[in-house]
């Protein structure tokens, strides 16, 4: 490592822009990797130094650069995906990278770079702000992207958060971002899971969507039940552990009547139990009805066009006989039923491939 490389990494960390600019001008290799396997552009992302990133990109820094030396391969190790994975705090860097990508001729991107770019909308929905997702989607030309298992960004995000997220504020913020994205691109809420990945379909991987399921159907009938089952198992384990410890005290102090109260109190105070209960309540009482309401809105528009004499009226559409007031009442009742119970909506939201073809 040259002296300019060392000084640059330190200046980026300290946001010392005078020295950052000087050291960048004197770099021999703008993509040099230090002992920690990161380039100067990696450091600019890590320390959220947007101006340093801008200067480095101006000198030709490669945002797709993967570490030459590594013990394990992480798809997010390039500066681009690292920035997206670090979340909303890196919004300015993320938008900068997308702007530079937009000015880059596609033929200059190799296969490895295109593979990383294909993950942008998924990373953006999972980790970033709606603004970044919209920019990534616009850059991507509105392509329908799916990952190796056939999950769209919406499927992937709902599955990851509903199964594994225990930080309640982060869960709520991510889901609010999802709602903002669906509000702009309502069609993605009606996309169906149709992966041919036999590993997941044939083995019935827990929390995996059924073929033909919408993302909301997966959430209600696959991931949330899976999470509840896991939480139930944790509760049983916690109760056994608490009971065993309490019995030791009973044998010592003879407070047999307090055993049940001790077990109940320990369960209620457990942070894992508390956070999971809050996540479950949020999904069932707030997110699910909100997303379903958005889905019904697009359905109402489609039916309205099908029954309007100047917007594609179809004589064979018998629902037009109901009239707009009756249809409005039906949709309102559907939303009310969803708020009360999810039972009965599986055919609409989690239908199988055979049902969809009928």
- Which pLDDT score is estimated for 355? 42
The answer to whether residues 211 and 187 touch, using CB atoms and an 8 Å cutoff, is no
- Which pLDDT score is estimated for 106? 82
Assigned token pair, 218: 């997966």
- Which pLDDT score is estimated for 317? 60
**What's the Cα-to-Cα distance from 128 to each of 131, 231, 294, 322, rounded to whole Å?**
8, 28, 21, 43
- Which pLDDT score is estimated for 196? 57
Q: Which residue, among 160, 168, 195, 162, has the nearest Cα to 85 in the 3D structure?
A: 160
Using the CB atoms, write b or e for 27-52: b if 16+ within 10 Å: beebbebeeeebbbbbbbbbebbbeb
Helix (H/G/I), strand (E/B), else coil: 349 = helix
- Which pLDDT score is estimated for 53? 97
Assigned token pair, 75: 């798809």
Cα–Cα distance measured from residue 113 to residue 218, given in angstroms and rounded to the nearest whole number: 31
Assigned token pair, 144: 């329908």
User: What does DSSP assign to residue 88?
Assistant: G
The parts of the chain modelled with pLDDT lower than 70 are 1-4, 36-37, 69-76, 195-204, 247-263, 300-331, 334-335, 351-358
- Which pLDDT score is estimated for 357? 39
The answer to whether residues 245 and 263 touch, using CB atoms and an 8 Å cutoff, is no
């Amino acid at each position: 490592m040259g002296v300019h490389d060392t000084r640059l990494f330190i200046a980026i960390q300290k946001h010392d822009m005078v020295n950052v600019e000087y050291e960048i001008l004197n770099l021999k290799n703008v993509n040099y990797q230090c002992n920690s396997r990161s380039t100067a552009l990696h450091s600019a992302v890590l320390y959220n130094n947007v101006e340093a990133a801008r200067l480095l990109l101006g000198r030709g820094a490669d945002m797709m650069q993967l570490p030459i030396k590594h013990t394990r391969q992480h798809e997010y190790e390039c500066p681009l995906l690292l920035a997206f994975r670090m979340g909303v705090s890196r919004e300015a860097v993320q938008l900068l990278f997308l702007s530079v990508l937009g000015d880059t001729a596609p033929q200059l991107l190799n296969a490895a770079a295109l593979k990383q770019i294909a993950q942008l909308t998924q990373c953006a929905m999972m980790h970033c702000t709606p603004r970044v997702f919209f920019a990534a989607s616009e850059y991507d030309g509105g392509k329908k992207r799916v990952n190796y298992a056939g999950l769209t960004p919406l499927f992937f995000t709902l599955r990851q958060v509903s199964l594994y997220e225990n930080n309640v504020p982060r869960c709520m913020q991510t889901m609010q971002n999802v709602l903002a994205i669906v509000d702009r691109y309502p069609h993605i809420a009606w996309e169906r899971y149709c992966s041919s990945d036999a590993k997941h379909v044939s083995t019935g991987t827990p929390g995996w969507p059924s073929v033909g399921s919408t993302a909301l159907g997966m959430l209600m009938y696959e991931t949330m039940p899976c999470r509840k089952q896991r939480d139930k198992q944790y509760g049983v384990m916690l109760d056994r552990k608490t009971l065993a410890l309490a019995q030791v005290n009973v044998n010592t102090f003879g407070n047999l009547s307090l055993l049940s109260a001790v077990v109940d109190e320990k369960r209620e105070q457990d942070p894992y139990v508390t956070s999971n209960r809050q996540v479950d309540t949020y999904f069932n009482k707030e997110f699910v009805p909100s997303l379903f309401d958005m889905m019904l809105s697009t359905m109402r528009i489609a039916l309205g066009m099908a029954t309007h004499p100047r917007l594609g009226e179809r004589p064979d559409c018998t629902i037009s006989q109901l009239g707009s007031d009756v249809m409005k009442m039906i949709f309102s009742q559907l939303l009310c039923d969803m708020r009360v119970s999810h039972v009965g909506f599986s055919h609409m939201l989690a239908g199988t491939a055979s049902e969809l073809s009928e």
